[in-house]
Amino acid sequence: MSAYLFVKLLHNLCFVYWLGGDLGTFYASRYVARPDLSPQARSTALTIMMGCDQGPRFCMPLILPLGLQLAYMSGQWSVAPIWLWLAWGLCLGWLALVATLHFAHGKAFIPKLTKLDFYLRVVLIVGLLTLAGYALATNFILSADWLAIKLGIFALLVMCGLFIRMRLKVFGAAWGKLMSGDESDSVNQVIRSSIASCRPFVYLIWVGLLVNAAYGLHLIY
């Protein structure tokens, strides 16, 4: 297997685990929101939901540099090698940050890292959208328009993830009350509404992933 095909395989696997993990997260969330289930059953559903969500969380920082690597290896990303290594360094640092937030959950430094992760994603969104727009307007840096479009869509997927995070802010407090024995309608309503408010962004992520896959397979140009 050539190096190019191996990188392409890894890139495709990131797509599979991102979309598959999202589907599992979405399905489990329906049980988390069901007031007719016991708090223990809903807690188990939440554990499953968070476990499924790790696939997309880890694949997001990896799929970007793998895609850029493919573009560079195929001659469609015309930059000095240092920019490729910088992209890898940034994304591997992002991956390490995501892993730390997952495995060191509950530590005193986690709130600061969570804020760092949030603003890092904002910077990536702005930077990638700017790069994609510039490439589309000038045909410079990225030689194919579909690559620039894929990059822009990826930035929008990251943005959808941030909107989901913001919509779930009230979920944590309501969930804590539920686990403390408060099964009131008001608590359940907050849990249901916060999860429901995320669904449009989940659907957008699915559509974006499928469109990017279609561009990658050259089904659309």
Tokens 């968070």 correspond to: 50
- Residue 220: the pLDDT is 66
Q: d(Cα 108, Cα 215) in Å, to the nearest integer? A: 43
**Model-level pTM?**
0.93
Instruction: Dig out the tokens for 21 from the structure.
Output: 């993990």
Residues 6+ apart with CB under 8 A from 64: 87, 91, 154
pLDDT score for 217: 84
Nearest to 130 by CA among 160, 147, 155, 150: 155
Residues 168 and 146: their CA atoms lie apart, in Å, by 33
Q: Measure CA 28 to chain center.
A: 17
Q: What is the pLDDT of residues 72-112, one digit of tens each?
A: 998 888 888 999 999 999 999 999 999 999 888 778 899 99
Residue range 113-124, pLDDT digits in tens: 999 999 999 999
Residue spans of the domains in the chain: they are 3-216
